[in-house]
A and B are shown apart, each in its own frame.
Chain A
Amino acid sequence: MPKTFTEKIFSENVGHDVSAGEIVMVSPDVALSHDNTAAIISTFEKMGGKKVNDPTRHVIVLDHCVPAADSKHAANHQKIREWVQEQDIMNFFDTNSGICHQVLPEKGYVKPGSVVLGSDSHTTTHGAFGAFAAGIGRSELACIMVTGKLWLRCPETMRINITGEFPDRVSAKDLALRIIGDIGADGGLYRAVEFCGDAVERMSVGDLMILCNLTAEMGAKNGYAIPNENVIDWLYGRVNNDLKIVESDPDAEFVAEMRFDVSALAPQIASPHAVDNVSGVPEAGNITVHQALLGTCTNGRIEDFHSALEVLGDRKINPNVRTLVFPASKEVYEEGLKDETWLKLSEAGATIMNPGCGPCLGAHEGVLADGEVCISTANRNFKGRMGNPNSFIYLGSPESVMASAVTGKITDPRELT
């Protein structure tokens, strides 16, 4: 019987034929957790866990609140550091490393065809490398620590065919927001989302990571694309060479198929307080901006900062807009040091921060005051997400965020010529 990408990976993992809708016990190749490992350790112990089933499977990256914002976070980090020693978990990345979803592929843990489960909803990002990657709960990660397995329902697949060339200053973030605006925050509920089409075949690693990252905001279980040449080149030297590329059979069953032509796409923005509240940038209205955030697991790669610099040109950032720049990882940070990206952004008025999640989840490093507006390259704009329920978050591309930082109002990047 013809199979989808996800059905093939599930079948291979469990050793028998699996079709969409079936529930099976899957053994992940990689189990990812972050600062929440502290809570997971407690559940692991409650489950009667003594020694982790397979320490080599686990990758732990401290990224959510780094360096620790207060003594409570510091104590959590300390607990995790001591525990990984006890458990012989070698794949541990401390607070200087960056965001788990950037570190994991950079360090070669994500391979095409593999199964990645993480106790973070944006684990879907790793589908950009042709892996099955899904978010799970904390207790579920503890279950993997004890038993090595977790129950998963094999999802049905919807396919999104993307064609055309992006116009100037329009990018993958705009496309992802437009898709979410069209299909809604539950438009991909329980499903696997396969991205295909000529535009996807040409996309950069970063573009594919943006699309897969944001499938979490469509309610999807996983998102993926078949690795193109850019992905295979990027993986070279990071993972061993025996790449196992998995593809859906041409006659596999898809529950829905959609087409998007990016050639006529305009910059998009998600207005408060829902990711599917999407419009063109000018339609968001005349909105004064107090803070601009460039970074996160969605848009924290060097190419994102280069796109922002291109929009900036020789201008300065508006002095009323606190512009915070968070490279997604130490590797990205060092790239930006070498090519002077940070120097240029700093001279324009931005603050260069450390690699990590920053204020995206409202823990520290840029929490908003009552009534303030932030335009951000992140992936969630729920009420209170950045630490204050009386503030307002708009989500856009790096180009739109920089244009707004320059003018002090939410601005279509094509206006700054």
Chain B
Amino acid sequence: MIEGKVWKYGDNVNTDVIFPGKYTYTVTDPAEMASHAMEDLDPEFAMNVKPGDIVVGGANFGCGSSREQAAFCLKAAGVGAVIAKSFARLYFRNCINAGLPAFVQPELVDAVSAGDVIKVDISSGKIIAGSEYPFPEFPEEVKAILESGGLVEWVKSQAG
């Protein structure tokens, strides 16, 4: 069960504001990456985010560059899940590969406000925020990557 406070943002949040391009070749330490998360969108975020908190976005969340750091920095900041009306294709992949659960649930996005505390129950496939909002079960392959903690760990477990 993932439980945390909602950080809510709008449509078309791009990877440049989640993790600025100027850091992509120089910042690689997870804690340092976390300190720049959402830097150009919400300067309060990196300072106040708590483990388990949930980022909620509108349509086409994570559009723009394919940079993986835009997903990895949220994971490093302790974010428990990302929920959006829709995701840019590569951003969704990068979340899974970072071991960060990502869900498409448009009704939930409209129903919650910043600061609400909500729960995500992956095993029963629903988000609990006053009412319950179901989401489709992840396919086995995606589940295995999430459970390993991301693609690097998953590949290691395959070899071992």
The answer to whether A186 touches B97, judged by C-beta atoms less than 8 angstroms apart, is no
Complex interface: chain A residues within 8 A of B129 (CB): none
The answer to whether B68 touches A186, judged by C-beta atoms less than 8 angstroms apart, is no
Q: Shortest beta-carbon distance, B26 to chain A, in Å?
A: 10
Binding site for A on B (CB under 8 A): 12, 16, 21, 59-60, 63-66, 68, 86, 88-90, 93-94, 96-97, 139, 141-142, 145, 151-152, 155-156, 158-160
Partner of A47, one of B66, B86, B89, B152: B152
On whether A221 and B89 interact (CB within 8 A), knowing A137-B68, A139-B68, the answer reads yes
On whether A186 and B141 interact (CB within 8 A), knowing A47-B152, A47-B156, A137-B97, the answer reads no
The answer to whether A146 touches B63, judged by C-beta atoms less than 8 angstroms apart, is no
On whether A189 and B156 interact (CB within 8 A), knowing A138-B68, A140-B93, A384-B21, the answer reads no
Q: How far is the CA of A219 from the CA of B87 in the complex (A)?
A: 10
On whether A25 and B88 interact (CB within 8 A), knowing A137-B94, A139-B68, A146-B155, the answer reads no
Having A135-B90, A140-B151, A186-B63, one finds 9 other A-B pairs with CB under 8 Å, namely: A48-B156, A137-B68, A139-B151, A143-B155, A151-B141, A151-B145, A186-B59, A219-B60, A383-B16
On whether A48 and B155 interact (CB within 8 A), knowing A23-B139, A137-B97, the answer reads yes
Complex interface: chain A residues within 8 A of B160 (CB): 48
Complex interface: chain B residues within 8 A of A190 (CB): 89
The answer to whether A139 touches B152, judged by C-beta atoms less than 8 angstroms apart, is yes
As a 0/1 sequence over residues 41 to 55 of chain A, the CB contacts with chain B under 8 angstroms (1 = contact) are 001001111000000
Complex interface: chain A residues within 8 A of B12 (CB): 186
On whether A140 and B97 interact (CB within 8 A), knowing A23-B141, A135-B90, the answer reads yes
On whether A185 and B63 interact (CB within 8 A), knowing A47-B156, A137-B97, A147-B155, the answer reads yes
Tell me the nearest residue of chain A to B159, going by C-beta. Answer: A48
Q: How far is the CA of A142 from the CA of B156 in the complex (A)?
A: 12
Q: Most chain-B Cβ atoms within 10 A of its Cβ — which of A147, A185, A186, A221?
A: A186
Q: Shortest beta-carbon distance, A252 to chain B, in Å?
A: 21
A166 touches B (CB below 8 Å): no
The answer to whether A25 touches B141, judged by C-beta atoms less than 8 angstroms apart, is yes
Binding site for B on A (CB under 8 A): 22-25, 43, 46-49, 119, 121, 135-140, 142-143, 146-147, 151, 185-186, 189-190, 219-221, 382-384
7 of the cross-chain contacts (CB-CB < 8 Å) are A23-B139, A48-B159, A146-B155, A147-B158, A185-B60, A186-B86, A189-B88
Q: Most chain-A Cβ atoms within 10 A of its Cβ — which of B12, B63, B89, B97?
A: B89
The answer to whether B89 touches A189, judged by C-beta atoms less than 8 angstroms apart, is yes
The answer to whether A382 touches B64, judged by C-beta atoms less than 8 angstroms apart, is yes
On whether A43 and B86 interact (CB within 8 A), knowing A22-B139, A139-B97, the answer reads no
Complex interface: chain B residues within 8 A of A219 (CB): 60, 63, 88-89
Complex interface: chain B residues within 8 A of A384 (CB): 16, 21
Q: Most chain-A Cβ atoms within 10 A of its Cβ — which of B16, B59, B90, B160?
A: B90
The answer to whether A43 touches B145, judged by C-beta atoms less than 8 angstroms apart, is no
Q: How far is the CA of A147 from the CA of B16 in the complex (A)?
A: 31
Partner of A137, one of B16, B88, B90: B90
Q: How far is the CA of A195 from the CA of B97 in the complex (A)?
A: 31
Complex interface: chain B residues within 8 A of A43 (CB): 152
Complex interface: chain A residues within 8 A of B94 (CB): 137
Q: How far is the CA of A137 from the CA of B91 in the complex (A)?
A: 9
